[in-house]
Every structure is written in structure tokens, then in C-alpha cells.
Structure 1
Amino acid sequence: MPKLSTRLQRFRTGSPLSFRLLAWILLFSSAFTLVASALQIYSDYRKDLSQIDNRMQVVESGYASSLARSLWALDQKLLQTQMEGILSLPDVVHLRLRIEPDSELVMGEIPRDAKTTSHSFSLVHQGDEMFKLGELTVTADLDRVYDELKRKVGVMFLDLDNFKHINDTLGHDAGDNLLIEAARRISSCLRGTSTVARLGGDEFLVILPGLTGPEASSQVAERILKTFSPPYILNGQEVFVTTSIGIAIFPTDSDNSGTLLQHADAAMYQAKHKGKSSFAHFAPEMTEVSHERLKMESSMRRALELKEFELYFQPIVNTDSGTLCSVEALLRWNNPAMGMVMPDRFIPLAEETGLITPIGEWVLLEACRAAMGWKEATGKDIGISVNVSPRQFRDPGFTEAVMHALATSGLAPEQLELEITERLILDNSIETAEILRQLDKAGIRLSVDDFGTGYSALSYLKSYPFDTLKIDKSFVQDVMKEPEDASLVRAIINMAHSLGLRVIAEGVEEEAQTHFLKKEGCDFSQGYFYSRPLPAADFDAWLANNHRV
């Protein structure tokens, strides 16, 4: 049999996944997990080789004496039958019986370029004296073993959704307990030959060897998503946590371990964009998206320092009179290489990377300063509205950042309105209620942004201290065409007023829409009919020339 070093060399060249993939994992995973993964894959290889070794020993112990008797008796027919029985054993492809003094019998054929192993044993006759009758060499084909190692292997990249929120609100001990339970749930969905490793933070890697096809990895992913459905109990509180899964297949997607992991990572982000709690298989077009994402993240990390972010401003007017009452600050990113980047492209990435926190702080401060500048220019108080992302809102220093922006700019708290999305409102946690209470106590106005686009929970409008409700533009744009939209907008306005909330209609683009909104008693309007979002200098000019300020 070949030496261990020779076997390892064959293993390495015969299976492009084995060592190289595990070496890549070493960059991310703990040494213990690496060793466990490597031992698992190599032990499968060793197990198959051991089975062949054992089969050779069985041939020697079970056939040596009977072959010797047939040879001693010169029973050629029985000898041939016995050798045919040996040749029918799994992996055995060739027999060579050397008969003393100079004859031989050969059966079977060794495939060209096949990797083989051989075992020889002597055939002797035990009588008054011991006579050596010949030697049988049994050759086994190892291609099946290597083919097994080359079978498709699935690599799964898992990321827990909103893990940072758990860590920030319930503490790191709760976060650690969540990771332990998540690892247990993932492991419960895997078979014995699969491996799960935590890469760091809230990311896990799963290796699925011996896949019969992509559908097998999909079945595993579905089991994992299902096992994440029940709530976690952390600090005596029920918490629902989902995971997003990206899948890449070796060698279909790549035969390079590093590239394979990158593909799984790209697929994972695609799963997140699908709405989280889902999985996605790698597709070639994801490579371009992944590269663009890396490039955008790298550029965004320097954007604040290079002063590439800009604020655009759009007026919010009194629906009846058309007079200006406040302004919404809208973030834009003017990058020299990518041009003007709109928020829907970079805000989700900023949230994922945590860059939304420093960017959000900059927006708050600059928006408050702009409002103070308008007061100095016009002599009037003009309120400013700022969008707040869920991750920014949950940051432990968010309330302090808001107060710092007000104190630094000198803006009165009641002139600042923070726009909160419905998705954040539905996070019915003690932390959310406390932050909203602190902001309300400080005199800061609070509004529900894009109302109607999420799972509207009217009880939260009653429970939380909101001042304003903004009707999403998707409802406003068709009020003159679709009776259902008109009825819905009418109902939202009446409901908001019954709760003591002001109403702002977004996306007003036509005069006919303004007449409808006036008739239905909508307090304020915003949209292209009044003005597009303008950069600071252009908005200052708009203020100077607009007689309804």
C-alpha cells in the first residue's frame, strides 16, 4: 500500500475542494473547527481506503487455502471459478496468479491511467512438507474513492438577521446565548458528514459533502429556515430571529475554494435583499453585484471624510394655502467615480455595515444647521424633517446624537421632526418605546413615514407619541384614477385625525391631486407639484423667490 504521504498527495490532487477549502476556512474559523472539518473529510477518505484494505485481507484469509487446494489438485475449472468470485468483489479489477515454476493466470483488466492499489499473498500446500505453489496479486481500482471525494459539495454562508439589535438591546450575554442556540439549531438540520463552523460575529459556514444535486442543498436550507421559526427565549423574553442563507456548489460554481466562499457570500446578500429569512443559490450575475457592493462599501467608508455626501431639500406645504411649513432633508451621495448615488442603492448597504450611524449623525447635524440658516435668512421658523433608519434608531447613542445636533446648531427641539418607518414601529420592544418617549419628552416631533406600505398596526399609533402620519406616494399618485386608492387615502386621513395626528400626503405631482387632498382635509402636502428635491444653494434661491414662505 502507498505511504501516508503518497495518499495525502493523491488526496490533495484528486480533490480540489478538500485541503484548499479548509485552508480558506482557517482564515475565518477557529483552529478547532478547522481540525474537525479536515478530519471529517479525510476520515471519509481513510474509511473508504480501509474498506478496500479489509477486502484484500478477506480475500487472503478466505481464499488462500481453497485456491491452494485447487492448485495442488490441478483443478483448473474450480480455480477459475474461485478467481471469478474474487474478481466480482467491489473495486477489484485485476488478478494475476503466478504459478510455480513459470506459469501465470491473468483475469480482469486495469483501466488506463487508473489509480490502483495491490495486495499479494502466497499460496502454499501444507503436508509433510510445505510447498509454495504460487502467488496471487489482487489489484483494486481507487477511482471510485476519488470520485466520491469529487462529488458535489455545498457551501452555505449563513448570517443571522438583526443580530446586532439583540446584542445592543439585551446585552452581549444574551447575544452569546443566541449564537449557541442558533448553532445548535443549524447542527440539528445536518447529517453526520456535514460540518458547521462559526466564522465570527453572527456568521456561520456549513459544508455539505457528497451532494447529489443543488436540490439537496435547498432541502437543507429549508430545514434550517424552518428550525429558526420558533422564538428564542433570552432573558425571559421571546425573541424572533431569522437567518439569510447563500449557497454555492463545488465544482459547479467554482473549483477554487476562495472563490467558492465569495460566491456563497454574494448569494447570502441576495437572500437578504429578497426580504431575509430566505436562501439563494449563487448565479453568475451575482459576481458583478458583489464586486459593485465591495467597491461601494470601500468608497462609502471614505465619503464622509471626503465630503461627498450632500443634503437635498424638498418643501412640505400647507395643503389649503400652499404656504411653506417645513422641509424634508434627503441624503444624496455625489461620488466622483459613480456619480450621483441615490439612497435606495447605498442606504441598505450602510445599514448592513453599520456606516449608517456616523452618516445619520452627519445628516442630523447638517439638517439642523440648515434650518437655523433659513431662520436667519427669512426671520421665520422653518421646521426640518429627517429620516431615521431602523439600525440608526437602535444605536445606543442615537438619542444623544439627536440632542447633540440640536445643541450644536441651536435649533429648537420642536422644529425637528424625525420620520420613523412602519417596520421599526412594529418592533414592539421596551427599548423602542423608551427611545420614542425620551424624544417626545424633549419636544422633538415624531412622524410615521410611508404609512400603508408595511403591516400597519393601528394600535401602535395610539400607544406611541407620534405627531404626524405621512401617506405613502404609492396611494396618492392614483387617487384621481383608482376609486380604491381614493377611498383608502380618505380613510387614512379620517383615522389619523381621530387619533389627533396631522397628515402629510407624499408624492403630489398634479393639481387635481391637491384639490382632492384639500377636499378630504389633508393637512400638508409634499411632491414635485410644489418642488423637486433641491441642493442647498438651489433651495436657498427657492426660498428667496417663493412668496408663500
Structure 2
Amino acid sequence: MVLFDLDHFKLINDGFGHAAGDAVLQQVAHLLQTRVRKEDQVARWGGEEFLVLLPDSSLETAHATAEKLRELISHTRMSVGGAELRLTASFGVSAWEHDSQLTVAELLGQCDSALYNAKAGGRNRVKQFEGKSAQDYLQGFTLKRAIEDDRIRVAYQPLVSLADGQIMGFEALARLVAENGDVIAAGQFIDVANRLRLEHRIDSRVSKQVMARCSQRMEQTGTPMKYMINCSADFLSRPEDVQQLLDRAQHFCSTCAVDMTGKAKPMVIEITERQLIGDAEAVRQLVQPLIDFGFQLAVDDFGSGYSSYLYVLKLPVSYLKIEAELVREAAHSARAQAMVRSINSMAHELGILTIAEGIEDEATAEVMRRIGVDWAQGYYWGRPEIEA
């Protein structure tokens, strides 16, 4: 089995339009059909991915076939919007042995893992599967199915004012509802989503649900509350996804019970160093359309790395979320308290509201309160919950 992905295909869609992108996919499909055996099967697997089934072939034969297809694609000029371009592709290869207990889903997962390694290694190359547990691949298959079946749900955790305990807003957290009804936290699937480049699809579903909830709450109470959503680099770097988010926001704002014209909108985009978005200027370009509309920006896990300081320095940050481990340490460490105090002072001098993450008890909340941190979140006030 061979799974391959056209490298940097997004640039074609962005530069020439989706119609041109579709034409390229048709050219690639035709090219493949002319170069495989009669008994082989070629199919578009989704997006810019293709799947090639090679019956009665060894892993070595599959690898050699993939290498020939890679060279064929890289040496063929594709017609794109009146121009001719050369493309490259990355390939993942695996094989099912007769004595193997692998399921089709696990074999697909192996190919996908190999494809990821090909891309991580520089693209335009073939990689074959290198052993991991079957469970690793089942997770990817399960996640794709959950997205397609619309089983990505949002759990809301309250953001609380430390001064008076009032709920000021919520952080929206992705949850996967399994087929048996079990709720799976993001920590158990987000790495798989990142590896399979599915984060943007999860973010899209989360943001849509959050805006609908925000609009409903505004209609019921007439009081705006903040909703913080984690937007991945995978999402923010896709102009079509950002535009869809803006379109949805405009729709909900136009029907909102409270006139928010000229005001900061309830939606807050969280960015974090873990997402590896890039330098601050790159981040600004990604989020600028959202900021122009009235979205606000929060830096998550502040205190966990150097880049976070550059984000605060160069971006219009409205909220700074202090990293949970540092907050917990501050409950019993004078050194950690000094660090939190310094962060809090800096943020306030810059006009940024601070939020302490991961608070689980009153003692920690009181320390944050004495330091002067504005808001907080954590199990002390409530676990993330999916609304019925």
C-alpha cells in the first residue's frame, strides 16, 4: 500500500484558485493510471492525498514503485492556471503480510506515519513504515472518523475574576465523543491531529460551536462574555479557514442581541509557543484579519519559553495566561511568586489582563489574588464540561 501527498499543494489553491487545484489533481490521477499495473488500484484519498493499492507486492516492490511514481511526478510539467509547474510529492509505504494480524485501518495508519516521516524529512521522498504499536494508527483513523461524523464537541471551563469570583468568560476546549459515548480529552488526540494535519478541521468545528453558544447566551442574558479558543498554526495559516471564521463571526454578530459595533468582540484567539507558529511578525500576519474585525489575542502558557515574550512585545495582546506549573509552584515557593509578580507587573504596565492557569485550591487562588492577578481558571472553579 502506498499513500502519497502533493507537497505544498496549498500554494496552488491560494495562488491560482481551487479550480486550478482540482485540474492538477485530475492530471496527477491520469498520470498515475497510465503508469501502474492493470491489477493495481489508484484512488484519491482526500484533499491532495492519493492511495495506491499494489496486490501481491512485497514491501520492497511497493517502495520501488513509489520511488518511480515520485520521480514521474517531479519530472512532469503540470498545467496550472495557464502556467506550467513542476510538483513534488511525499510517499509513505507499508505492506500487509499473509501472517499479519493488521486490520485495514492499522495498515493505513502505518502508511500515514511513513508519509509524515517523509514530509518531516524534507518532502519529495519515499519512506516506508518503521514499527510502532498498532494503537498509534488506530488513533488517527478514529480521529478522522470522528471529524467526519461530527463528533468533535466543545467543553467549557470558566474564567473567574479573582477579585469577586464572578465568571468573566470561558475557555473552549475540544473533546472527541467516541462511538460508545465516552468523552476523550484533547490531550489524548491533539498530537495525532497535528501529525495528520487535522487540527484546522477541529478548530473550525470548535469555533463554529462557540460562536453559536456565544450568540445564544447574548440573546438570553444581554451580557457579553469572553470565549477563548485555541487556534492552531494549521488553522491560522489557511486563509480559507480564517475567512470562513470571519464570515461566521460577521453572521453571528449581525444577528446578535447586543450591538457590538466598534467594540472588541467576545471571541479571543489563544496562541501558544507549543504551536510553533513562527516569529512574531509571521503570527501578526496570520491573525491580523481577525484582530481587524474585533477579535482579541491571548498568549497561552506564558512563562514556558522565550518566544512568548516576543509575542507580547510585538503583537496586540489583550490577555496573558500564566503557565499552570509556574502558578502551582507559586503556592509554596517565594521564587515562583516573584516570577509571577514580575510577569503580572509587566503585563499591567502594558495594559494586558492576566489569567492564572491550573488553580486547584483556595491557597493558590489566594496567592494569585495577593499578587494582583486579574482572572483565573482551574479545577477549583470547575472542570471543562460539555453542555447538554
Q: For the superposition of Structure 1 and Structure 2, which TM-score range results when normalised by the shorter chain?
A: 0.5 to 0.7
Aligned residues: 313
Bigger CA radius of gyration: 1
For residue 444 of structure 1, what is the amino acid of its counterpart? Answer: F
Contact 1:266/1:287 (<8 A) preserved: no
Give the drift of 1:287.
Answer: 2.2
Give the drift of 1:470.
Answer: 0.8
Give the drift of 1:496.
Answer: 1.9
CA distance in 2, matches of 1:434, 1:512: 41
2:25 aligned residue: none
Structure 1 residues 425 and 443, CA, compared in 2 at 3 Å: closer, same or farther?
A: farther
Q: 2:279 aligns with which of 428, 439, 456?
A: 428
For residue 130 of structure 2, what is the amino acid of its counterpart? Answer: F
CA distance in 2, matches of 1:323, 1:259: 48
Structure 1 residues 324 and 263, CA, compared in 2 at 3 Å: closer, same or farther?
A: closer
1:315 aligned residue: 158
For residue 300 of structure 1, what is the amino acid of its counterpart? Answer: I
Contact 1:316/1:326 (<8 A) preserved: yes
1:294 aligned residue: 141
CA distance in 1, matches of 2:304, 2:144: 28
Give the drift of 1:259.
Answer: 12
Structure 1 residues 431 and 469, CA, compared in 2 at 3 Å: closer, same or farther?
A: same
Deviations 1:52-107 (A, max 9, x none): xxxxxxxxxxxxxxxxxxxxxxxxxxxxxxxxxxxxxxxxxxxxxxxxxxxxxxxx
**Secondary structure in 1 aligned to 2:379?**
coil
Alignment of 1:263-302 (within 5 A): 265=111, 268=114, 282-283=130-131, 285-302=132-149
Give the drift of 1:468.
Answer: 0.9
Structure 1 residues 315 and 301, CA, compared in 2 at 3 Å: closer, same or farther?
A: same
Alignment of 1:324-339 (within 5 A): 324-337=167-180, 339=182
Give the drift of 1:469.
Answer: 0.9
Work out whether 1:509 is the aligned partner of 2:374.
no
Give the drift of 1:527.
Answer: 1.0
Alignment of 1:398-413 (within 5 A): 398-410=241-253, 411=256, 412=260, 413=264
Give the drift of 1:492.
Answer: 2.0
Q: 1:490 aligns with which of 335, 341, 345?
A: 341
CA distance in 1, matches of 2:10, 2:300: 21
**Secondary structure in 2 aligned to 1:344?**
helix
1:523 aligned residue: 374
Work out whether 1:366 is the aligned partner of 2:214.
no
Contact 1:470/1:503 (<8 A) preserved: yes
1:443 aligned residue: 294
Q: 1:383 aligns with which of 198, 217, 226?
A: 226
Give the drift of 1:296.
Answer: 3.4
**Secondary structure in 2 aligned to 1:414?**
coil
**Secondary structure in 2 aligned to 1:528?**
coil
Work out whether 1:344 is the aligned partner of 2:187.
yes
Deviations 1:497-543 (A, max 9, x none): 23322111111111111111111111111111112222224xxxxxx
Q: 2:323 aligns with which of 468, 472, 490?
A: 472
Give structure 2 stretches of 5+ with no counterpart.
18-43, 51-57, 61-89
Give the drift of 1:298.
Answer: 2.8
Q: 2:269 aligns with which of 403, 406, 418?
A: 418
Larger RCO: Structure 1 or Structure 2 (Cα < 8 Å, ≥ 6 residues apart)? 2
Contact 1:263/1:282 (<8 A) preserved: no
CA distance in 1, matches of 2:371, 2:280: 35
Give the drift of 1:277.
Answer: 6.3
**Normalised by the size of structure 1, how large is the TM-score?**
0.48
Deviations 1:120-144 (A, max 9, x none): xxxxxxxxxxxxxxxxxxxxxxxxx
**Normalised by the size of structure 2, how large is the TM-score?**
0.65
Contact 1:496/1:503 (<8 A) preserved: yes
CA distance in 2, matches of 1:263, 1:441: 40
**Secondary structure in 2 aligned to 1:458?**
helix
For residue 507 of structure 1, what is the amino acid of its counterpart? Answer: G
Give the drift of 1:280.
Answer: 11
Q: 1:461 aligns with which of 292, 304, 312?
A: 312
**Secondary structure in 2 aligned to 1:314?**
strand
CA distance in 2, matches of 1:526, 1:377: 24
For residue 495 of structure 1, what is the amino acid of its counterpart? Answer: M
Contact 1:470/1:504 (<8 A) preserved: yes
* CA RMSD across the alignment: 4.4
Contact 2:347/2:353 (<8 A) preserved: yes
Structure 1 residues 169 and 474, CA, compared in 2 at 3 Å: closer, same or farther?
A: farther
Give the drift of 1:165.
Answer: 7.2
Give the drift of 1:318.
Answer: 1.2
CA distance in 2, matches of 1:437, 1:260: 41
CA distance in 2, matches of 1:245, 1:473: 40
Contact 1:248/1:261 (<8 A) preserved: yes
1:6 aligned residue: none
Contact 1:310/1:333 (<8 A) preserved: yes
CA distance in 2, matches of 1:288, 1:489: 40
Contact 1:297/1:349 (<8 A) preserved: no
For residue 294 of structure 1, what is the amino acid of its counterpart? Answer: F
CA distance in 1, matches of 2:281, 2:15: 11
CA distance in 2, matches of 1:261, 1:335: 21
Give the drift of 1:292.
Answer: 3.7
Q: 1:481 aligns with which of 315, 329, 332?
A: 332
CA distance in 2, matches of 1:260, 1:288: 8
Counting aligned pairs with the same residue, the percent is 24
CA distance in 1, matches of 2:222, 2:146: 39
Structure 1 residues 165 and 513, CA, compared in 2 at 3 Å: closer, same or farther?
A: farther
Structure 1 residues 264 and 426, CA, compared in 2 at 3 Å: closer, same or farther?
A: closer
**Secondary structure in 2 aligned to 1:461?**
helix
Give structure 1 stretches of 5+ with no counterpart.
1-23, 30-158, 173-198, 210-243, 538-549
CA distance in 2, matches of 1:358, 1:346: 13
Deviations 1:266-311 (A, max 9, x none): 6648969xxx66999834x522322343243234322x2xxx3322
Contact 1:309/1:333 (<8 A) preserved: yes
**Secondary structure in 2 aligned to 1:337?**
coil
CA distance in 1, matches of 2:362, 2:111: 48
Structure 1 residues 387 and 296, CA, compared in 2 at 3 Å: closer, same or farther?
A: closer
Contact 2:147/2:201 (<8 A) preserved: no
Alignment of 1:36-51 (within 5 A): none
